[in-house]
Structure 1
């Protein structure tokens, strides 16, 4: 992850205008970039490990666009 992408994600996390889901996804990606394991991220955020894995994979595939929107159901 480059510095510009990291700055965007940090801005999303800090902004009170960011949707809660997007802020959480950005936090997942930032924590992963620090080398944290899925289980550790899940424990820190109080969510499931599968959810962490899903959003890490979506970010890896599509970048920021991958975490901005839910997939259609």
Structure 2
């Protein structure tokens, strides 16, 4: 598995874990792509892929110009 692919999955899985544990709750705003990229030492594209994976899993939703938020689950 290429390094970038492993990184976006690792980041997505970490955020998914925070959602499932209740640390992040429905409608909580996630940090910006820039903040997460800096914190994880990856590119913005990697964070966007992680957000895309979380969106595909139904765990987050985006609001244009506002950010990415935790979706209501279950």
TM surpasses 0.5: no
Where is the strand percentage greater, Structure 1 or Structure 2?
2
Where is the helix percentage greater, Structure 1 or Structure 2?
1
**Larger relative contact order (C-alpha < 8 A, sep ≥ 6)?**
2
Shorter chain as normaliser: what TM range?
A: 0.3 to 0.5
